[in-house]
Amino acid sequence: MTAWTAPLTAFAEDASVDKTEAPQSETKIDPNLLPSGLLQISGTDAFSKYVFLVDKTARHLQVYERKGETIEKIIDVPSDMGKAMGNKSKRDDHRTPEGIYFFEKKLEKTEIPFNLYGELAFTTDYPNIFDRRESKTGSGIWLHAVPDTVPLTRGSRGCVVVRNDVIRKLREYIKLKETPILIFDKVNYVDKAEHDKRRVALTEFIEGWRKAWESQDVEKYMTYYDKDFKAPGFTFDTWKNHKTKMKDQYEFIKVQLSQPFMLLHKDQLIVKTFQRYESNQHTDFGVKTVYA
């Protein structure tokens, strides 16, 4: 896990609390506007080509895909949310959590009660790493369907709910463990110029971190980490000490990052990227996930 510092405030989302009575057939958003939280969808098939987006206020679920250097909405459908308003914080509060989640498992109709979950369900990783740091409790937050006889205004126990015909369509866009679902109280939209500006700013920020790491400038490198940084076996200070000791062992370091996936939810950021690392001692290639 990696935590970064103050520059992330430049990308922070706006918050809002409001709720409509019933979902409309399609959200009335200017097609020229883009969700500010979907900064970049990776161009590689190794990650998900799609991102799910839920607006609790509008009570809608959308699916976006990458188109060149930008993103495009390809699905926009009504959905239901938890019976209680607000962000989930504890077990049985019947609220839908807000944050960046990933689909974990698919449950077919033979595995679930049809009257409760319809034909199909997808579990998520709530509580995620951010939720656990805030000591949030609960589990079983799914994307699932309901029978056609059940209104989409009934309210769930915290899950995101759509119709059976919709979830059959959505399954085509879900790659387990890879496809994210971002849940907002209210989605913030920006024009393409502003969206590009935010994407480029974050890309440059990541590049600064990479260069500091590659140059083995430990002092500069650590400015990209929050004082509350934690990783398995490390705190901010022990991580800095570790990097300082490692510096003396390497004649050189080369770090390449490619095909980044960048998602932002208010003050939570997830970046997933391919990383190629090379030094005079070893070389490796894999996926790096950064949480900030």
pLDDT digits (tens, 9 = 90+) for 158-209: 999 999 999 999 999 999 999 999 999 999 999 999 999 999 999 999 999 9
What pLDDT, on a 0 to 100 scale, did the predictor assign at position 67?
85
Among candidates 122, 119, 197, which has minimal Cα distance to 164? 119
Span 44-80, pLDDT tens digits:
888 999 999 999 999 999 999 988 878 999 999 999 9
What percent of the chain stands above pLDDT 90?
77
Domains of the chain and CATH, by start: 15-190 (2.40.440.10), 191-291 (3.10.450.50)
CA 38/CA 265 separation, integer angstroms: 9
List, in sequence order, every residue forming a beta bridge with 52; answer none if it has no partner: 63, 181
CA distance 254 to 278: 5
Confidence at 26, pLDDT banded by 50, 70, 90: low
pLDDT tier, 25 (very low <50, low <70, confident <90, very high otherwise): low
Closest CA to 228 of 160, 291, 163: 291
Q: Residue 216 pLDDT more than 80?
A: yes
Q: 18, exposed or middle or buried, with CB in 10 Å at 0-12, 13-18, 19+?
A: exposed
Residue 230: predicted pLDDT: 83
Q: Pick the residue with more confidence: 263 or 17?
A: 263
Q: By three-state DSSP, how is residue 8 classified?
A: helix
The per-residue pLDDT for range 94-121, each reduced to its tens digit, is: 999 999 999 999 999 999 999 999 999 9
For position 29, what pLDDT does the model report? Answer: 79
7 φ/ψ sector (left φ>0, alpha ψ -120 to 50, else beta):
alpha
% of the chain at pLDDT higher than 70: 91
Averaged pLDDT score across all residues of the chain: 89
Edge-to-edge strand ranges of the sheet holding 70-78:
70-78, 60-67, 50-55, 180-184, 99-108, 120-124, 142-146, 160-163
